């Protein structure tokens, strides 16, 4: 009689990774191999990206769907969660209700919504308790007062990239299992005012009169490229959850 196989050990730390730019017709696991082939599949806790069109998206402009129904089903069957970036600054109750069908479709344990608007987070908590609700990096939670307030509303908080260098602040956080830190960074790491997020929130409402705004020149955004953080000091502090952005086209993310 064969001995029962031991369960796979839990990874020491995990990543939520970006589906940014993924064509809908590219199978999700082919995309993960191509873009995140250096990351063990067991370490990928979730994938965030656009599903069907919604006016609740924020962070970046909606161009097309990135994750198909089949992609989502395959991810969930593999134990990988879906994170939907509904981080728009502006949400009315009527607009929220207009998105009910989409929200209901993807609601299951293991999937989550990334939110910036606190009212949206509260409505989701009441109507869709199976979702995990994440506070978006857009909220710029960079001190204990903001963090304590966020913990009252959200299950998990994504801290801004600059927090990786504030080891005193990070070391004082007790609920480290409710924190996600960035494993790498793009232009937001050096951005002085992050005006893009508000303009993108308006653009995703279908407002054709709003122009994309950025507080940095293209040269400034391109100057540093993608930065990989040293995760060891962060892991030594007890952090185990990291957000991994997609590298530039033609490159593979380093982790």
Answer yes or no: is 80 within a domain: yes
Q: Kind of pairing, strands 14-18 and 241-244?
A: parallel
In a domain, 158, yes or no: yes
Alpha helices in the chain (DSSP H): 28-36, 69-77, 93-98, 100-105, 118-127, 144-151, 167-171, 196-203, 218-224, 232-236
pLDDT at residue 10 in the model: 72
Instruction: Work out how many domains the chain is built from and give that number.
Output: 1
Give the residue, 160 or 202, on which the prediction is more confident.
160
User: What's the predicted TM-score (pTM) here?
Assistant: 0.87
Nearest CA among 219, 195, 14, 217 for reference residue 89:
195
Per-residue confidence (pLDDT) for residue 218, from 0 to 100: 57
Label residue 55 by pLDDT band (50, 70, 90): very high
Predicted confidence (pLDDT) per residue in 28-40, tens digit: 999 999 999 999 9
Asked if the structure places residue 32 within a domain, the reply is yes
What is the pLDDT at residue 254? 42
Mean pLDDT of 30-58: 95
pLDDT tens, residue by residue, 133-148: 999 999 999 999 999 9
| pLDDT score for 86 | 97
pLDDT of residue 222: 57
Residue 141 lies in a domain: yes
Range of the domain at 67: 14-185+226-244
**Model confidence at 44, in pLDDT bands (50, 70, 90)?**
very high
pLDDT score at 163: 95
pLDDT tens per residue, range 110-129: 999 999 999 999 999 999 99
pLDDT digit string (tens) for 177-214?
999 999 998 767 776 666 667 777 787 787 777 676 66
- 84 within domain boundaries: yes
Express each pLDDT in 17-26 by its tens digit. Answer: 999 989 999 9
Stretch among 40-54, 142-156, 201-215, 223-237 having the lowest mean pLDDT? 201-215
Instruction: Confirm whether 88 is domain-assigned.
Output: yes
Query: What's the CATH code of the domain at 127?
Result: 3.20.20.80
DSSP bridge partners of 86: 115
Do residues 86 and 114 lie in contact, with contact meaning Cβ atoms separated by under 8 Å?
yes
Closest CA relative to residue 148, chosen from 167, 174, 177, 129: 174
pLDDT digits (tens, 9 = 90+) for 63-115: 899 999 999 999 999 999 999 999 999 999 999 999 999 999 999 999 999 99
- State residue 202's pLDDT score: 80
Domain-located, residue 166: yes
Domain assignment present for residue 190? The answer is no
Residue scoring higher pLDDT (223 or 53): 53
> Quick one: pLDDT at residue 212?
63
Average pLDDT over residues 223-239: 87
Average pLDDT over residues 225-236: 90
Q: How far apart are CA 125 and CA 174, in angstroms?
A: 23
């Amino acid at each position: 009689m064969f001995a029962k196989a031991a369960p796979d050990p839990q990874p020491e730390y995990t990543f939520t990774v970006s589906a940014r730019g993924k064509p809908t017709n590219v199978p999700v696991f082919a995309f993960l191999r191509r873009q995140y082939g250096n990351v063990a599949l067991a370490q990928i806790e979730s994938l965030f990206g656009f599903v069907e069109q919604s006016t609740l998206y924020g962070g970046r402009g909606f161009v097309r769907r990135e994750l198909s129904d089949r992609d989502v089903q395959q991810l969930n069957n593999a134990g990988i969660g879906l994170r939907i970036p509904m981080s728009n600054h502006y949400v009315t109750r009527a607009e929220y209700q207009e998105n009910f069908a989409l929200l209901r479709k993807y609601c299951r344990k293991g999937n989550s919504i990334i939110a910036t608007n606190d009212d949206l987070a509260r409505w989701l908590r009441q109507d869709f308790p199976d979702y995990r609700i994440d506070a978006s990096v857009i909220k710029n939670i960079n001190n204990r007062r903001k963090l304590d307030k966020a913990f009252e509303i959200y299950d998990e908080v994504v801290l801004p990239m600059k927090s990786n260098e504030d080891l005193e602040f990070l070391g004082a956080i007790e609920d480290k299992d409710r924190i996600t830190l960035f494993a790498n960074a793009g232009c937001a790491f050096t951005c002085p005012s992050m005006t893009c997020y508000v303009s993108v929130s308006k653009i995703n409402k279908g407002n054709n009169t709003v122009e994309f705004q950025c507080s940095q020149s293209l040269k400034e955004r391109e100057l540093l490229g993608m930065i990989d953080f040293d995760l060891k000091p962060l892991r030594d502090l007890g952090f185990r959850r990291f957000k991994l952005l997609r590298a530039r086209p033609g490159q593979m993310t380093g982790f």
